Amino acid sequence: MSERGDVTDIASDREAEIRDDALAKIARKAEEQASHESAHECRICDEPIPEDRRVAVPGVQTCVDCQADIEQALAMRGL
């Protein structure tokens, strides 16, 4: 455990926090829009959302990968 390692850890913790905040905001927005139409592209990474997923998850706003990230971020916050 070097001092340099600690500095790097703090920096990456902070980045993760900022990222989690952004994800939580997007997740909240996605929930508000849940009654709306399914998105054609993921709101986070802009990848196309497969038609199967758009039909299976009405009002879906994110791809499977980003949804997993959001759920993980929310779970870590105890939401």
State the residues that interact with Zn ion by CB under 5 A.
42, 44-45, 47, 63, 66
And the tokens for 54?
């758009």
CB of 55 to Zn ion, least distance (A): 18
Q: Considering beta carbons, is residue 66 or 73 the nearer one to Zn ion?
A: 66
**Closest distance of CB 4 from Zn ion, Å:** 34
Break the chain down into helix, strand, coil percent, rounded to 5.
60, 5, 35
DSSP annotation string for 3-41: HHHHHHHHHHHHHHHHHHHHHHHHHHHHHHTTTSPPPSB
The least CB distance from residue 49 to Zn ion, in Å, is 8
Of 27 and 42, the one with the shorter C-beta distance to Zn ion is 42
**Tokens standing for residue 38:** 């399914």
User: Which CB sits closer to Zn ion, 7 or 49?
Assistant: 49
